[in-house]
Structure 1
Amino acid sequence: MGGGAAAAACAVSDLAFSATDEDEKGKPVRHLLLTVTNTGDKKCNLYAYPYLRFPYARAPTAVIKDTKDTHATPAPGGKAYAALLAGGGHMDPYDTDTIPLSLQSPDPGSKPGEPANVSLPGQVSFDDGARVTYWLT
């Protein structure tokens, strides 16, 4: 990072979260763009991908592996993004207007912290085909 101190991991408390519908107007919400804005006063690292685990789900939402990056480092006021596909598997449907999004640490396989409940643009139907990308800037 060019001579300065390395950025610490982002904390939920230093971020603002939003989710926007990326589908054609009038169509069911299936494609979402998750956006985090760094509201803190220092750069911070977002590692891997948003960890999404719905209540009663058998497993966390799967990640789209070919979007892998090392991490995103938004500066104060900066943003990072992840795309979220709500479904396609048609099993275990779950309708909700919020998603529990946890941030991951730099250690793969470590337990994510407490989730932020991110409001969705209305009621969205998720199922076992849901997928999320890695964080991107």
Structure 2
Amino acid sequence: MRFARLIASAALSGAAVLATAAVPAQAAPQADRGPVQALCSTSSADFTVRNVSRPINHQLLTVTNTGSESCTLVKAPLLGFDNDTYVGAQAIEESAPQSVVTLAPGQSAYAGIRLSSADGSGENGRDVRTVHVFLDSGDGSEGGPDSIALPKGTWIDDSAAVTYWQSNASDALVW
């Protein structure tokens, strides 16, 4: 008798599954994720670069949202030095934060720039005077570059790299 009940129960469960599969699926309601933040652009941002004492061969790039709305920074800044027509510093993938950085008006974010190899193994070293900063949209650059004068005596080589945007300066300088 117990076996018959198990068979009947299984048959009813199977019929319920088949009946559910025959009903057209309806889309689940979208969860409210809050307002979608616009990407930051160079036209509503102020950039500065300064030397740091540690780690050696590094500078700190700071961006401040000068717009009236919050905006989001994705990935790492795209940098070109002096007359470079290409990105002159590779992104340090290991520096990717847990989430994108969102800036309210007046807030800042940071990226560490490794200028050259600490052991001197980098090639094509040269003095540079200017860095051109593009903001990554996830599919390339967002807007035109912002050109910034670099501190006097800035030296780069082929090992130049930049971190992803970070919410605080100390995280940007770990890499």
Report the counterpart of residue 61 of structure 1 in structure 2.
89
> TM-score of the superposition, structure 2-length normalised?
0.66
Q: Deviations over 1:51-89 (max 9, x none)?
A: 012334775311111111342111100000000011114
Structure 2 residue aligned with 1:91: 123
1:133/1:4 CA distance change after superposition, 3 Å = same
Structure 2 unmatched ranges of 5 or more: 1-31, 168-175
Amino acid at match of 1:127: D
Q: Percent identity?
A: 33
- Structure number having the greater helix percentage: 2
Are the structure 2 counterparts of residues 3 and 101 from structure 1 closer, same or farther at C-alpha, using a change threshold of 3 Å? same
Structure 1 unaligned residues grouped into runs of 5+: none
Asked if residue 38 in structure 1 is aligned to residue 58 in structure 2, the reply is no
Q: Alpha-carbon deviations, 1:18-54, whole Å to 9, x = none?
A: 0111126xxxx72101000111111101110010123
In the TM superposition, 1:97-112 aligns within 5 A as 97-107=129-139, 110-112=140-142
1:117-128 equivalences in 2 (<5 Å) = 117-128=147-158
**For residue 16 of structure 2, what is the aligned residue in structure 1?**
none
How many corresponding residue pairs?
A: 130
- Over 3 Å counting, the alpha-carbon distance change for 1:91 and 1:123 in structure 2 is same
Question: 2: CA distance between counterparts of 1:43 and 1:112?
Answer: 16
Give the TM-score of the pair, scaled to structure 1: 0.83
Instruction: Compare the two structures and name the one with the higher strand fraction.
Output: 1
Residue 6 to residue 85, structure 1, CA distance change in 2 (3 Å): same
Moved over 4 A (4+): 56-59
**Partner amino acid, structure 1, of 2:77:** P
Bigger-Rg structure (1/2):
2
- Give the one of 51, 64, 84 matched to 2:78: 51
Q: CA separation in 2, counterparts of 1:58 and 1:79?
A: 26
CA distance in 1, matches of 2:35, 2:162: 30
2:57 is aligned with 1:14: no
Q: What secondary structure, in the 3-state scheme, does the structure 2 residue paired with 1:53 have? A: strand
Structure-1 residue corresponding to 2:102? 73
Q: What secondary structure does 2:134 align onto?
A: strand
* Counterpart Cα distance in 2 of 1:118 and 1:11: 15
